[in-house]
Structure 1
Amino acid sequence: MNQTIVKNWNARVKTTDTVYHLGDIALYFTHPAGISNQAVYDVLKSLNGHLVLIKGNHDSRAFFKYLNNHNFMVGGKPKFEFHDVGVLIKFNHRQYYMTHYPMMMGIVKQIINLHGHIHHYSVNIKEDINVGVDTPETDYLDYKIPFGTPFSEKDIEQMVQGKFTDFAKRS
Structure 2
Amino acid sequence: MKSNNIWFTSDHHFGHKNIIEFSKRPFQNVDEMNSEMIRRWNEKVSKEDVVYHLGDFGLTSPSKLRQIRNQLNGKIHLIIGNHETSALEISDCFESVQNYLELTINDSDAFKGQRFIVLLHYAMKVWNASHYGTWHLYGHTHGELPDDETSLSFDVGVDCHGFYPISYDEVKLIMSRKKWKPPFEIRNK
> Which residue does 1:113 correspond to in 2?
136
Aligned length: 138
- What is the identity percentage for the equivalent residue pairs of Structure 1 and Structure 2? 28
- Residue matched to 2:98: 83
Aligned residue for 1:37?
Answer: 62
Contact 2:57 2:87 (8 Å CA) reproduced: no
Contact 2:102-2:116 within 8 A present in 1 as well: no
CA shift, 1:51, in A, is 0.2
Aligned AA for 1:153?
Answer: Y
Bigger RCO of structures 1 and 2 (CA < 8 A, at least 6 apart): 2
Cα deviation, residue 2, structure 1: 0.8
Letter in 2 for 1:101: Y
3-state SS of 2:123 partner? coil
Q: Distance in 1 between matches of 2:120 and 2:65?
A: 21
**TM-score normalised over the length of structure 1:** 0.71
Residues 89-128 of structure 1 mapped to structure 2, 5 A cutoff = 89-92=104-107, 93=110, 94-105=115-126, 108-120=131-143, 121-124=145-148, 125-128=150-153
Could you list the structure 1 runs, at least 4 aligned residues long, displaced by more than 4 angstroms after superposition: none
1:143-162 matched pairs, under 5 angstroms: 147-162=162-177
Structure 1, unaligned stretches of length 5 or more? 29-35, 72-78, 139-146, 166-171
State the Cα RMSD in Å.
2.1
What letter is aligned with 2:104? Answer: I
Q: Provide the C-alpha distance between the structure 1 equivalents of 2:34 and 2:74, rounded to a whole number of angstroms.
A: 17
